[in-house]
Amino acid sequence: MSTGKKVWIIPDCELPPPGEGALKGHESVIVVNDGALPAKIEVTLFFTDQPCKKGIVWEVGAEKVRCFRMNEPKDMGGFSVPLETQYAMKLESSENVVVQYGRLDNRQTNLAYYTAIGYSE
């Protein structure tokens, strides 16, 4: 039996600009699939003032980990996530997975990096 859940919500997303420092501002979602089958993950983005974005699909192989970057359209099904815009993310996986969200924000001198585990039922 694999670890994790099939549905995850990340409520506090906001893609920062890359900034000027050596470390570039970004958001990422790390997905761990410790199961014996590949996981297909359907991603939905929810915005405050625009329709939700569906049709983003991620795949994580069996017994693998993958990092998906919100500032990389190739990781977002060709969609360019708008900068400095509040949104939330829902991940629906075919297999149990564990999800971690991270954001590096260097808009100020003392850059901030934090991670959080998403909500899952």
pLDDT of residue 113: 67
Give 9-44 pLDDT, tens digit per residue: 999 999 988 877 777 778 999 999 999 999 999 999
pLDDT of residue 110: 66
Residues of the chain with pLDDT under 50: none
Contacts of 55 (CB under 8 A, 6+ apart): 77
Q: What is the CATH number of domain 5-120?
A: 2.60.290.11
Question: Where exactly are the structural domains of the chain?
Answer: 5-120
**Residue 45, exposed/middle/buried by CB under 10 A (0-12, 13-18, 19+)?**
buried
Query: What's the rounded Cα separation, in Å, for the pair 97 and 6?
Result: 6
Query: What's the rounded Cα separation, in Å, for the pair 33 and 74?
Result: 21
Q: pTM for the complete prediction?
A: 0.90
pLDDT of residue 1: 72
